[in-house]
Amino acid sequence: MTVQVLLDLAETLHTAPDPLARFSEFAQTRGAKGFFYGFSAFRNDISDLGYTAGIFHHHTYSAEWQAAIGAEALLDNDHAVAAMVDGARMVEWLPEDLENFLDGLTPSQRCQFEIEQDLGMTCGASLLLDDRPFGLSGIGLWLDCAPETAAFRRLWAAEGEVLTAAANLLDAAVRGDRTNLLVRLSPREIDCLSWLARGLRPAEICWRMKISEKTFEKHIASAKAKLKSQTRDQALAKAVLMRLLPL
């Protein structure tokens, strides 16, 4: 039964216009109150830009949480993200030995942990989905259970395997051919990068697209920002790596 459920989910995620919304619906049926999914194109983006700026992300946590943490620092002081960047495959949000755990956090990490506890985000797990030389992906799952480690582990024993499999299916669906759901390049930005990837000079691209060089440079600048890139070449490399261009 579980295998068929996951097969159905895999098909849904690959065909649905919004696989993130469909995953959210599925996760809720398995005890998740919300999730935070993200991936990086290059691992050095994380060290160069920081967690929040270096990771393309989507979440269904509350607006209250985002306001309390700050939209520019959602991941920067998250102890679970730091642990996954260091290679941890799974991080429980509320460990049994809370006192020693808190002593091991930085002041900024402890502040974010306490804010999330105040908001009721007590029980959950963060999972490293994919760790490769060029990037990584992961997900945080906020679970609907009593605010204690034992309650989390009971729910995770019942639903953790399916939620982990579902999260990997989401990752495969999004990073397979839907990365633009998070990057959000416009059609014109994709066109400009696609012609560059095919070896055309800017003047030739402008002629083909019937736009001015000023408009071309505006599209490229916007694409660079969305791709978290400092140069045109880096933006182009990321766009190709993440299969954003119809080459």
Distances (CA, A) of 1 to 6, 8, 150, 159: 9, 11, 27, 14
Element (H, E) at 56: strand 56-59
The single-letter code of the amino acid at 155 is: L
Classify residue 5 by its DSSP letter. Answer: H
| Selection from 173, 170, 36 nearest residue 93 by Cα | 36
Mean pLDDT computed over 181-209? 96
Q: What pLDDT was estimated at residue 95?
A: 87
Mean pLDDT computed over 35-49? 92
In the chain the domains, ranked by start, together with CATH numbers, are 2-181 (3.30.450.80), 184-241 (1.10.10.10)
Q: In the predicted model, is pLDDT for residue 44 greater than 70?
A: yes
Q: In the predicted model, is pLDDT for residue 98 greater than 90?
A: no
Q: What pLDDT was estimated at residue 189?
A: 98
d(CA 162, CA 24): 14
* Region of residue 55 (left: phi > 0; alpha: psi -120 to 50; beta: else): beta
d(CA 139, CA 169): 12
Mean pLDDT computed over 67-81? 94
d(CA 178, CA 242): 9
Whole-prediction pTM? 0.93
Share of the chain above pLDDT 90, in %: 88
Label residue 1 by pLDDT band (50, 70, 90): low
Label residue 201 by pLDDT band (50, 70, 90): very high
For residue range 118-175, list pLDDT tens digits in order. Answer: 999 999 999 999 887 778 999 999 999 998 999 999 999 999 999 999 999 999 999 9
Label residue 93 by pLDDT band (50, 70, 90): very high
